[in-house]
Copies of this chain bind each other. A is one copy, B any other.
């Protein structure tokens, strides 16, 4: 048996603060055309794909950051991307900053089917960083200032013949993210990220170590839930702040089957057999036979650490 879904991981190089959405959308369309030419049916772009990674900029008045947010999706700036996807008959996923009619702010991603319908929305749950300006850090990472944590859980959707889930950036370091989707039978997780190349609180933690942590988390999540994972970076130097690359596609054995080299716009394409998830899900990670929830209580009963007496 095989159920092939050919997916493109579409990395974006840097987006400068001064660059408008029109420039970015044109780049995304060029990547989509390239992906289509390479046989892709689904294209995945990074977190906050339409703008620079703005949470590095501190505004005393938060409303000054609102211009980075989308108040509707699609909207006129992004419509050409939706149009091209529909023309190609391709599914897609990308991240953007969402400002709701009620004035709520989320770090969001969507799943769009071949007909251009938004079938899934995810709002980032594990927001890294901090709320207030932190003079101790090498650079600011104000996601906790500009966004509230996602309120939609970790849903899984049927799309293009498979069970699809989304997460965003820091979510990938948390095994809970994969597991909640694994418990819904997820077969492909798509995720975008913007990860600074240096730890803002530990200068010695540079790009090699951060790429290692990235791969480790994604590969373990894939293996332990027997799912494909498509992880897509925004990379390179944005106004003097460098983001690592590390765009890759991981199979349900946790192995990297494709990885993009470099920090520019680029596409890697892989024919993913969704039936490759079956063996893991039916043997070593057959949850029904092996999980022992009576011993997992603290995972949902407590947030932080409670040390023994």
Contact = CB atoms under 8 A, between A and B. Distances in A.
A173 B307 contact: no
Nearest to A279: B202
A213 B183 CA distance: 20
Contacts of A104: none
A151 to B, nearest CB: 9
A304 interface: yes
A287 B179 CA distance: 17
Contacts of A308: 155-158, 163, 184-185
A213 B202 contact: no
Nearest to A157: B308
A305 B279 contact: no
Contact of A128 (B125, B170, B284): B284
Interface string A229-256: 0000000000000000000000001110
A11 interface: no
A301 to B, nearest CB: 8
A292 B223 contact: no
A149 interface: yes
A224 B219 contact: no
Interface in A195-225: 201-202, 209, 212-213, 216-217, 219-220, 223-224
B307 A185 contact: yes
A220 B175 contact: yes
A75 interface: no
Contacts of A300: 293, 296-297, 299-301
Contacts of A180: 295-299
B224 A175 contact: yes
B295 A125 contact: yes
Interface string A271-309: 000000001010111111111110111111111111110
Contact of A302 (B150, B183, B202, B220): B183
A150 B296 CA distance: 13
B149 A292 contact: yes
Contact of A296 (B219, B299, B305): B299
Contacts of A285: 173
A240 to B, nearest CB: 23
A218 to B, nearest CB: 10
Contacts of A304: 183, 286-289, 291
B290 A126 contact: yes
A220 B250 CA distance: 15
11 contacts: A126-B290, A150-B292, A170-B284, A175-B176, A176-B291, A180-B298, A185-B306, A288-B305, A289-B304, A293-B301, A296-B300
Interface of A: 125-128, 149-150, 153-158, 163, 170, 173-176, 179-180, 182-185, 201-202, 209, 212-213, 216-217, 219-220, 223-224, 253-255, 279, 281, 283-293, 295-308
